Amino acid sequence: MVTKSENHIPLSYSRLSDYETCPRKFHAKYISKIYPDESNNPVFAKGNKIHKDLEFIGKSMAADKDMPDVMEPTKTVLSVGKISPEAVNGLPLLANVIKNFDILMFEQQIAVDFDMNRSSWFENSSCYYRIIGDVIALRGHEGLAVDWKSGKVREYDDKPTGQLHLVAGVLMSLNPAIDRITTAYVFVEHKQVIDRTFFRKDVAEILAPFEEKYHEVCNDTEFEPRKNTYCYNCKVPQCEFK
């Protein structure tokens, strides 16, 4: 069980990444909330479109997974051009996952509490970490979690608080039958997959760095700025590194 901080702040990979990049930016986005809304950013809009397309296609294919050609439900949609070309690149992987796994879930918002049990996504007081599974697939003692990525390919740096690590730790905690899980980035525009495989015997080791970071974030009272490669594009007001 994780000890809840008196200054509790629920975390996710994106929040943790913001903090590790610059604590002041983290504070501006999630505590003082003075950071400008970026939801209309064209890059974000494109990524959201790809995610929605792949969710729609995945659910359509999964609904008819026993058909000889699981691609059939999507052919009409593809023929009238409603699906982004980037999303089309994800179809072979989706077809393979749907064919080979028993339980399929798409765009799952998952929150865990301090006992690593399922929590309400919207209940900040009991939420320890949140993850989103673009595709989650289970089969016996195996699991797979896919995160669709748009934009340029970025190598996974294997840091202990990486996104693939967090997703693996959370999903194995919630699914005791899983002994092995593969978590993957799929860069749909480049048809490239970067994945890592994790094992149940390592769950405690996987989750420990996230507990340490949780307390580091919650105990921070200064949120000092940290100069980094993204400073030029940062919208935090009145920062000496801009």
Q: How many whole angstroms from its chain centre is CA 141? A: 22
Tens of pLDDT, residues 210-226: 999 999 999 999 999 99
The whole-angstrom separation of Cα 147 and Cα 229 is 24
Are 236 and 35 in contact by the 8 Å Cβ rule? The answer is yes
For residue 90, give every residue at least 6 positions away whose Cβ sits within 8 Å of its Cβ, in sequence order, or none. Answer: 54, 57, 148, 186, 188
* DSSP-derived 3-state class of residue 232: helix
Q: What per-residue confidence (pLDDT) applies to 80? A: 47
- From residue 17, how far is each of 93, 154, 216 by CA, in Å? 28, 15, 13
For residue 238, give every residue at least 6 positions away whose Cβ sits within 8 Å of its Cβ, in sequence order, or none. Answer: none
Domain 11-220 classification at class level: alpha beta
Residue 41 reports pLDDT greater than 90: no
pTM higher than 0.85: yes
Residue 172 reports pLDDT greater than 60: yes
**Lowest pLDDT segment from 25-29, 63-67, 92-96, 148-152:** 63-67
Element of type H or E holding 12: strand 11-12
Element of type H or E holding 126: none
DSSP 91: H
Higher per-residue pLDDT: 242 or 20: 20
**Lowest pLDDT segment from 10-19, 133-142, 228-237:** 228-237
